[in-house]
Structure formats: C-alpha cells, structure tokens
Amino acid sequence: MAQTLTEIRRILEERGLKPKHALGQNFLIDQNLVRKLVDDAGVGAGDVVLEIGPGTGTLTDELVARGCVVIACELDANLAAHLRERFAGAGNFTLIEGDCLARKKELEPRVIEAIGGRGFSLVANLPYGAGTPVMMNLMTGFPACRGMWVTIQKEVGDRMLARPETGGGDMGPLAVVAQLLGTPALVAKLGPECFWPRPEIDSVMLRWVRDDSLGIQRPREFVEFVTELFSQRRKQLGGALKRLSIDAARASEVVDPTMRAEQLTVKQFADLWKISTLR
C-alpha cells in the first residue's frame, strides 16, 4: 500500500529530515494517483522498471509489491539509507545512490550497468529540475526504454505535448523529439494538494510510448539539429538552414524558409533532418 502523508512525515522525522527544496523533493501523497501511474504503465512481475527519485519509497512500494524488477536511483544520501533498510529483503530491488545524470548530460553509468541491456520502463515521480534532461536522455540514447510514465511540472508537460497549431509558444526541441520518437499523452492533471510539501506550481501525469516507425536516425545528433533550428526562434528559418548547410532548394520543398521553427510540424522537422543527412 502506498504511503500516507502521516507515514512520510514519520519516516522523515525519525531520521531528523525535512524535504529538500534544492533537490526538488515534493512527495506524491495521493495513493490513488500512485496506483493510477503504475496501472497506466502496465508493469508487473518481471518487468524492469527504472525509478528516479524514489524518496521515501511510496511509489517503490507499489512497484516492488507487483513484482517489478525495480532499479531506483536516489541522490539524497539520507533517503538512500532509508530505502536500503525498507527494501532490505526485497530481491527485486536495486538501489543506486547518486545523481541519475552524470555531468547532467548522460545517464549514470551504474544505472546503465544495472539495467544490463534489458528492455525497461521509466516509472517515476520525477524531481523538479530533472524531468527534461532525464526524458531527453532516455528517448534519444536508450532504445531499450519502451516508455515513460512520470509526474512532472505542468510546464514541462505542456512543452512535451505542444503542437504548432496551439500557438507555438511551447513548441520546442522537447516536443519535436518526443513526438517523432514516440507518442506522448496526458494521463492526469495534478494539483499542488497531491504533493507534500505543496509545490507552487501544477503538475501532470504523463505517458510516453516509444514508436520507431518514423525511423529517425542518430537521434542525439537530431536533438542538436532541432536545437539549432530553435536557437533563434523569433527569426525566419532561412538563416538557421544556411548555418546547418542545408540545400535551400531541397529545403524549400518541405518548408517555407520565411517560417519560424515553432510553426513547423514534427513531420517537417523529420523531413529537414533527412535532407540534412543526405548531403
């Protein structure tokens, strides 16, 4: 059973701890939402699950109870000590203590080693600040990641689900990459009352399922390509296309060079990438 607010408070008080704002610690306290996240992920006995920022272990409890092979990564040394004690007898739980991102760019090598090339899912209440880099890493660098089921800031969710027809303000590299390498979808909206301490912002529960049908080659280079196109988002695409040495005649077949990056569809980004790789 997922931990209640009372139990989370007790766990922290017994260790003389308080939630650390600097680490983005806002614990999910709605037990129904914990179950909803795991249910939507469809994970069960034997499925490998990566959990980042397990905190006191409320989501971990649910995953371990369902027989998932849980690889958890916790940065807070005090909470890591608690997790070791709590799941000491669980044969399906592995804890990695430290930052899930090495140098903020690559997934921690010990996490990669624990996954061991197996297919896996990310199921996590992601710490604030970790959402975008973690998801971009898993989408572009780990084809074995079949999907992600996470709670994140609403702002990040909006950017992941953005489309040019919505006005373009949230359209950026995260939306393009997420929608070309898979299918993102909103699972639920979460108000501040779902967490403790209450954050000052709203959150969402999001699903992303990998779909390789569009055949994006060299996805990490593709991220750099898309980022460059968005680097001067208020300017017309012509300058960016020139900097990227993309043949203007070929590019004009798929986009109008007077458009801005935020006006392009994800398919147009894919088409431009294919043109750029042919040179």
* pLDDT at residue 279 tops 70: no
**pLDDT, the chain, mean:** 92
Dihedral of CA atoms 82, 83, 87, 91 in degrees, nearest 10, equals: -140
d(CA 191, CA 9): 20
Same fold yes or no, 5-210 and 219-278: no
pLDDT computed for residue 215 by the predictor = 75
Per-residue pLDDT, averaged over 191-216, amounts to: 92
Per-residue pLDDT, averaged over 126-144, amounts to: 92
* pLDDT at residue 6 tops 60: yes
Among the residue ranges 132-146, 163-177, 179-193, the one predicted with the least confidence is 163-177
Per-residue pLDDT, averaged over 188-216, amounts to: 92
Query: Is-contact 70 45, C-beta < 8 A?
Result: no
Q: Of 86, 210, 201, give the one whose Cα is nearest residue 151.
A: 201
Burial class (CB in 10 A: 0-12, 13-18, 19+), 258: exposed
Taking only the tens place, the pLDDT of each residue in 76-105 is 999 999 999 999 999 999 999 999 987 767
Cβ atoms < 10 Å from Cβ of 186: 14
* pLDDT at residue 1 tops 60: no
d(CA 270, CA 237): 15
Q: How far is CA 245 from CA 10, 104, 202, 269, in A?
A: 59, 29, 41, 15
d(CA 151, CA 250): 41
pLDDT computed for residue 56 by the predictor = 96
The domain locations on the chain are 5-210, 219-278
Instruction: Mention the CATH class of domain 219-278.
Output: mainly alpha
Dihedral of CA atoms 57, 62, 65, 67 in degrees, nearest 10, equals: -100
pLDDT computed for residue 168 by the predictor = 59
d(CA 161, CA 156): 9
Query: Is-contact 130 24, C-beta < 8 A?
Result: yes
21: Cβ–Cβ under 8 A, 6 or more apart, which residues? none
**What is 5-210's CATH topology?**
Rossmann fold (3.40.50)
Per-residue pLDDT, averaged over 145-155, amounts to: 97
pLDDT computed for residue 248 by the predictor = 83
β-pair partners for 151: 125, 205
Q: Of 32, 24, 69, 26, give the one whose Cα is nearest residue 50.
A: 69
Top-confidence residue, 70 or 248: 70
Cβ atoms < 10 Å from Cβ of 216: 17
pTM of the model: 0.93
pLDDT computed for residue 140 by the predictor = 95
